[in-house]
Amino acid sequence: EAQVTQNPRYLITVTGKKLTVTCSQNMNHEYMSWYRQDPGLGLRQIYYSMNVEVTDKGDVPEGYKVSRKEKRNFPLILESPSPNQTSLYFCASSLLTGPTNTGELFFGEGSRLTVL
């Protein structure tokens, strides 16, 4: 089954304790991206990647890191989480259909993070 898998689905942590949210897709997609969803703000793009070792900032990258060492995996790293990073996080992937990317996104089920 084609899917995007995120772990953990739920996490409560404390300020400053490094954490990683993993994301894996089995569709051989080149493009992967992370979003956070907050009430009244919709989804905002954190980082995206167009292929292995190619990453770029989205609209709200501060406080986050990503890496793309393998095509299927795109982990989101919070080096020193703060309470304003409490949010619902989504990983998504799509085919990179060319220089202008027309592909629709396939989303994971989300990871709800609470930072105390």
Partner 1 sequence: AQSVAQPEDQVNVAEGNPLTVKCTYSVSGNPYLFWYVQYPNRGLQFLLKYITGDNLVKGSYGFEAEFNKSQTSFHLKKPSALVSDSALYFCAVRAPSGGYQKVTFGIGTKLQVIP
Query: Is 100 an interacting residue with respect to partner 1 (CB under 8 A)?
Result: yes
- The closest alpha carbon to 85, from 36, 49, 42, 45, belongs to 36
Query: Is 53 an interacting residue with respect to partner 1 (CB under 8 A)?
Result: no
**Nearer residue to partner 1 within complex by CB, 8 or 16:** 8
List 12, 15, 59, 116, residue binding partner 1 (CB under 8 A): 59
List 1, 40, 62, 69, residue binding partner 1 (CB under 8 A): 40
H helices present in 1-116, as ranges: none
Structural contact between residues 15 and 116, judged by C-beta atoms closer than 8 angstroms? yes
Residues whose CB falls within 8 Å of the CB of residue 62, separated by 6 or more in sequence, listed in order? none
- Written as six digits, the tokens of 86 are 């409490």
Where along the sequence are the contacts to partner 1 (CB under 8 A)? 4, 31, 33, 35, 40-45, 48, 50, 56, 58-59, 90, 92, 99-102, 104-110
